[in-house]
Each structure stands twice: as C-alpha cells, then as structure tokens.
Structure 1
Amino acid sequence: MPTTASTEQYIAECRRIHERLREIAWRTDRMARENCANYANPNFTRALTEQNELLQRLSDLDSQLFR
C-alpha cells in the first residue's frame, strides 16, 4: 500500500495533469468552433501530442502507485 506522502504527491500530480487536459480541451474546442481543428493546423497537432503525453503520464503514475 502506498504511503500517505506518495498518495498525496500522486493526487497533486494527477490534478495538475487534469488541469492541463482541461486547457487542451478548451483550446481544441475553440479550434473546432473556428473550423481549424485539423492536422494541417500545427497548434492542433501540438495539442493532441501534449494530450497523449499527459494521458501516458497518468498511466505511468497509476502503474508506479499501484506496484
């Protein structure tokens, strides 16, 4: 079972990641409304890349916490 400190660190990091994911969702929603959410738009591809990296980080955190 993880320690309280590591659990608190895990929760804090997850919150930071989820905040970034919310920001990405807001940006991509805005791009979609402006009809520029496509792979020709470098801002869109960067947002998707960052989203994938953050989701991988969440997965890694889960794996580390629950070993």
Structure 2
Amino acid sequence: RVSRSDGIRLESAAGAGLRLGGVPAPGEAVTVIGYPAGQGGPSACRAPAAASRAGFPALHCDGVVAGFSG
C-alpha cells in the first residue's frame, strides 16, 4: 500500500487517471485505440461489442493483430 506521510491520499495529490465505465451491451458501438507491436503509430477500431464465451466483452476488428495494446 502506498501512502503519503502527511495523510493526503495519493490520488488527491497526484491526480486521478481515467474513470472506468460500465460494460458495453452486446451490439453497442465501441471504439478502441491501441499500438500494434512492430508498427509506428496508433491504430483505431470501431465495432459493435459482443459477448465472449468467458462472459467478457469482445470486439471483432479487422486489422487488430496480436500485440495490440493501449
């Protein structure tokens, strides 16, 4: 656990990052931006969300390769 000695919450001192939203419903349009491994710049995809067998949201995009992160 990380804390400051003056009692101020680390998030308050450093600023919060992104707030996460809810899980998209199947069919809801989702946009992802990532950086494909071995390529020079970002790549984007917009497609409808789908449910995977494991229950996590899935997104099927042509051109998204292994190593796509962001």
The structure with the greater share of residues assigned to strand is 2
Shorter-normalised TM range: under 0.3
The structure with the greater share of residues assigned to helix is 1
Using CA pairs under 8 Å that are at least 6 residues apart, name the structure with larger relative contact order, 1 or 2.
1
Normalised by the length of structure 1, the TM-score is: 0.24
Normalised by the length of structure 2, the TM-score is: 0.24
